[in-house]
């Protein structure tokens, strides 16, 4: 694939980087990334990946845009309240970069469709807000050997990691980190717990950076490391995550 003249201009600030260049940009244009959830994390993810020229973006979400979403879900707009979130996201992406192919899946990710959906992409970015989806993606991405870049949010902090447990030693999965989902009544979601909107923007943007690094093979992967952000202390810290030999997803048995 050769870049067009318009693409040389659009991606000029990537092309000038030795670490990306024409080869890297062509790789991004040929890449297919699935973003799960077009919400607080999915918004910056989709916008930055589209701007960066990730050629095909799948987005799966069964919700519609609601006025209360707009405080943090910046891919949506007031004039699109009531529209399916995936269609609203598709419109925003087209406005940023019309050459991106968007596969808008207005459905829930379930045990029945997960493998079929995930298998069609090179990498999955989890921007979902619930443990059922998180564990489903953990198991599915392990089975079909796709890298998973996942983030989670709390009102004033968040965490981020990349999971490639199919690579073996040194590469834990999400279940190595958290064996069981907490009981549903213990898990405050954005709707009930609240969140400082820009915190979602920080984590979703970090996720976009890690997705681009994985696609380009740049720098250090976050596989095996959990990165935590504390907005009130304005601090980041990293912890090493060991692989759990008895993990139900990626363990030895
Ligand atoms: Zn595991």
Per-position DSSP letters for the chain, written without gaps between them = -PPPHHHHHHTHHHHTSTTTHHHHHHHHHT-EEEEE-SSTTHHHHHHHHHHHT-SEEEEE---B--GGGGGT-TTS-GGGTTSBHHHHHHHHHHHH-TTSEEEEE-S---TTTHHHHHHTSSEEEE--SSHHHHHHHHHHHHHTT--EEEEEE-SSEEEEEEE-GGG-TT---HHHH-SSPPPGGG---HHHH---HHHHHHHHHHHHHHHHHHHHT-S---BTEEEEEETTTTEEEEEE----TT-TTTS--
Query: Cα of 8 to ligand 1 centre, how many Å?
Result: 42
CA of residue 73 to ligand 1 center, whole Å = 31
Regions of the chain with pLDDT less than 70: 184-192, 253
pLDDT of 2 reads 87
pLDDT in tens, 65-114: 999 999 999 999 999 999 999 999 999 999 999 999 999 999 999 999 99
CA of residue 251 to ligand 1 center, whole Å: 6
Q: How far is the CA of 119 from the centre of ligand 1 (A)?
A: 20
Q: What's the confidence (pLDDT) of residue 243?
A: 95
CA of 177 to the centre of ligand 1 (A): 7
Q: Which residues surround ligand 1, an ion (CB under 5 A)?
A: 173, 175-176, 247, 249-250
């Amino acid at each position: 694939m050769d870049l067009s003249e318009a693409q040389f201009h659009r991606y000029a600030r990537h092309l000038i980087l030795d670490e990306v260049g024409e080869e890297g940009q062509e790789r991004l244009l040929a890449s297919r990334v699935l973003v799960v959830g077009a919400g607080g994390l999915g918004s910056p993810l989709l916008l930055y990946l589209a701007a960066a020229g990730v050629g095909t973006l799948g987005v799966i979400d069964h919700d519609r845009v609601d006025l209360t979403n707009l405080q943090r879900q910046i891919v949506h707009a007031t004039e699109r309240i009531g529209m399916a979130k995936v269609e609203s996201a598709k419109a925003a992406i087209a406005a940023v970069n019309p050459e991106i192919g968007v596969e808008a899946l207005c459905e829930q990710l379930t045990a029945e469709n997960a493998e079929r959906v995930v298998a069609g992409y090179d990498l999955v970015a989890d921007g979902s807000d619930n443990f059922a989806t998180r564990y489903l993606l953990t198991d599915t991405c392990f089975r079909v050997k796709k890298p998973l870049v996942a983030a989670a949010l709390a009102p004033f902090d968040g965490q981020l990691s990349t999971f490639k447990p199919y690579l073996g030693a040194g590469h834990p999965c999400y279940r190595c980190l958290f064996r069981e989902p907490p009981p549903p009544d213990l898990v405050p979601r954005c709707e009930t717990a609240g969140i400082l909107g820009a915190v979602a923007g920080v984590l979703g943007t970090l996720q976009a950076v890690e997705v681009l690094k994985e696609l380009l093979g740049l720098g250090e992967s976050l596989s095996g490391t959990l990165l935590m952000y504390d907005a009130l202390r304005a601090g980041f810290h990293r912890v090493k995550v060991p692989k759990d030999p008895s993990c139900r997803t990626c363990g030895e048995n």
